[in-house]
Amino acid sequence: TLTLTSLIILTLPIITTLLQNNKTNCFLYITKTAVTYAFAISLIPTLLFIQSNQEAYISNWHWMTIHTLKLSMSFKLDFFSLTFMPIALFITWSIMEFSLWYMHSDPHINRFFKYLLLFLITMLILVSANNLLQLFMGWEGVGIMSFLLISWWHGRTDANTAALQAMLYNRIGDMGFIMMMAWFTIHLNSWEFQQIFLTNPKNTTLPLLGLLLASAGKSAQFGLHPWLPSAMEGPTPVSALLHSSTMVMAGVFTLIRFYPLMENNLTIQTSTLCLGAITTLFTAICALTQNDIKKIIALSTSSQLGLMMVTIGINQPHLAFIHMCTHAFFKAMLFLSSGSIIHNLNNEQDIRKMGGLYKTMPITSTAIIIGSLALTGMPFLTGFYSKDPIIETANMSYINTWALLITLIAMSMTASYSTRIIFFALLGQPRYPSLTQINENNPYLINPIKRLILGSIFMGFLISMNTIPHTTPQMTMPPHLKFMALAVTLLGFTVATELNNMTHNLMFKQPSRMHTFSTMLGYYPTITHRILPYLSLTMSQNLATTIMDSIWLEKMIPKNLTTMQKTAASLVSNQKGLMKPYFLSFLLSITLGLLIAL
């Protein structure tokens, strides 16, 4: 029964795509209800798993055998995939309902829904894959759908460059993935997870490095991160689905999948830890002074992903997974409410031009406040059940102190930029033009947000109560460490509130160095996106034009010869240019010579 139900889950959305009735209006509603039923059905295996803690592997279709490598289509239904699938389906259901309101005036809305559905299917393939080939198919699938969806408004240059950026950074990560697959084929002769974990090889540094690179590319870690803020060029439902809850989780999810191998390899753990710590601090710094509401939320996603990497780095993959699930809820909700604000203010995305929405858009402002509180780890909301254990475990483990410190600093910055969003968007006097059309009464807008609010509040509790802990959490610790997360967050809140209130009516004469560092995203995109084309273009210019044309053909022999001769002639000669007397004297001397000889 488990097998049948999970296969039905995957095929229900697929059937909808195959019907392809793009012209009719009810395609949208069919898609949405298909996803709803898929969500409901996917709860059945999850509940069965919670009750029995029995994992399942379905391996049905043997595709081909290349020499000794057997490739088949197999699904792995363990704790990770069974918990993540209903969450992904729930969020996709909410987002599809939301995009019925948001993309209402778009003529190609059927195509949009088709793309969202394709994305969902590839994400589910990725999550439930039991061998690396299937995971790679899902991996590439989400990459392609991300490209198509970011460049949804493809008439806009920025959208196209952002989609290209996403594709290229993902590709760099894919190189790591392929290296990992190649290593496993060569050394272990299999791409199935069971075989990899059973044989438990001893020298796994190289493939795990490849995996780390792949996750860094997919999940926007430092070094491969600029695509995530740029990906906000896509419509808000796309940002909510792909770049907050699901696709960027793919990288972290794959790292979590490989936890048996990573347990034994301390080098990889340390590098994951440091990479995650750098990412979370760097993106939190950048998020502090951004002015576009979607970019702030995107950088916040990147920061939380860094936190998940830190958790994997301290050898707690299950905590990272729980944080991933809870993060999906409140981040999607933050994006949906920002989409509601943007549409209601007539496509205004700059928070310096919003304000005073606390009274006019009550449901959205409630959503933002609850989402921000959950994000920062307010006790007993969702984020608390995942973030607090992470910080406690990090405080009590034997890790790099510097990584721990910057994670804590990044946590306080999380509180700061969330306060900034609330302060600029919701509080104060309105700063937008006075002819407004603020209307939140559409059920397609309200219902998803309401569902996600409920999810944000309760899901943390539900998930942590219903899962069996795989590692014993730290029970005893000194009180100052126990309250560290809360203290740091409160510090961030208060500092941000004070600063915002004090400097609200002040203006920069010239922004300080730190401010421009943060607003320009740390200069990283500016440097790297220009340096590579610059280097290759100057190299080609040097080779083709300078070396060949100008030096070898023009300057080396002809021009050098002329300058040499001219300087020599002008230095040496003292002629006066009298041609005729010279010729006459020549003739005279020849004749005299002939006469004398004869």
Partner 1 sequence: MPYIYINIILAFVISLIGTLIYRSHLISSLLCLEGMILSLFTLNALLSLNINFTLSTIVPLILLVFAACEAAVGLALLIIISNTYGLDYVQNLNLLQC
User: Is 54 or 589 the residue whose CB approaches partner 1 more closely?
Assistant: 589
By the rule CB under 8 A, 577 interacts with partner 1? yes
* Short-list 197, 206, 321, 312, CA closest to 261: 197
* Short-list 336, 337, 334, 309, CA closest to 323: 309
Query: Helix H segments across 397-442?
Result: 401-425
Distance CA 487, CA 207 (A): 39
Applying CB under 8 A, the site for partner 1 has a residue count of 14
Contact letters for partner 1, residues 354-383 (x by CB under 8 A): ------------------------------
By the rule CB under 8 A, 575 interacts with partner 1? yes
CB of 588 to partner 1, least distance (A): 9
Q: Which of 570, 572, 595, 597 binds partner 1 (CB under 8 A)?
A: 570
By the rule CB under 8 A, 566 interacts with partner 1? yes
For 102-105, the CB contacts below 8 A with 24+ separation are: 102/235, 102/236, 102/237, 102/339, 102/343, 102/445, 103/235, 103/237
Distance CA 262, CA 322 (A): 18
User: Is 475 or 579 the residue whose CB approaches partner 1 more closely?
Assistant: 579
CB of 554 to partner 1, least distance (A): 18
CB of 557 to partner 1, least distance (A): 16
- Written in H, E and C, the secondary structure of 305-358 is HHHHHHHHHCCCHHHHHHHHHHHHHHHHHHHHHHHHHHHHCCCCCEHHHCCCHH
User: Is 26 or 587 the residue whose CB approaches partner 1 more closely?
Assistant: 587
Distance CA 332, CA 92 (A): 10
DSSP, collapsed to helix, strand or coil, labels residue 58 as strand
By the rule CB under 8 A, 579 interacts with partner 1? yes
Query: For residue 286, which phi and psi values (nearest 5 degrees)?
Result: -65, -30
Q: Which of 24, 586, 592, 593 binds partner 1 (CB under 8 A)?
A: 586
- Written in H, E and C, the secondary structure of 531-590 is HHHHHHHHHHHHHHHHHHHHHHHHHHHHHHHHHHHHHHHHHHCCCCCCHHHHHHHHHHHH
CB of 576 to partner 1, least distance (A): 6
Strand partners, 15: none
User: Is 434 or 575 the residue whose CB approaches partner 1 more closely?
Assistant: 575
Distance CA 426, CA 449 (A): 17
Q: Which of the stretches 53-61, 119-127, 280-288, 562-570 binds partner 1 when contact is defined by CB under 8 A?
A: 562-570
Contact letters for partner 1, residues 47-66 (x by CB under 8 A): --------------------
Let me know: does 82 contact 48? Beta carbons within 8 Å: no
By the rule CB under 8 A, 578 interacts with partner 1? yes
* Short-list 525, 510, 527, 530, CA closest to 295: 525
Q: Which of 454, 537, 569, 592 binds partner 1 (CB under 8 A)?
A: 569
CB of 579 to partner 1, least distance (A): 5
CB of 551 to partner 1, least distance (A): 24
Q: Which of 572, 587, 595, 596 binds partner 1 (CB under 8 A)?
A: 587
Q: Which of 67, 509, 513, 580 binds partner 1 (CB under 8 A)?
A: 580
Q: Which of the stretches 60-68, 329-337, 373-381, 565-573 binds partner 1 when contact is defined by CB under 8 A?
A: 565-573
- What residue type is assigned to position 511 of the chain? P
CB of 516 to partner 1, least distance (A): 55
Q: Which of 63, 458, 534, 583 binds partner 1 (CB under 8 A)?
A: 583
By the rule CB under 8 A, 502 interacts with partner 1? no
DSSP state of 473: P
User: Is 18 or 587 the residue whose CB approaches partner 1 more closely?
Assistant: 587
By the rule CB under 8 A, 598 interacts with partner 1? no
By the rule CB under 8 A, 572 interacts with partner 1? no
Let me know: does 248 contact 242? Beta carbons within 8 Å: yes
Residues lying near partner 1 in the complex (CB under 8 A) are found at 566-567, 569-570, 575-580, 583-584, 586-587
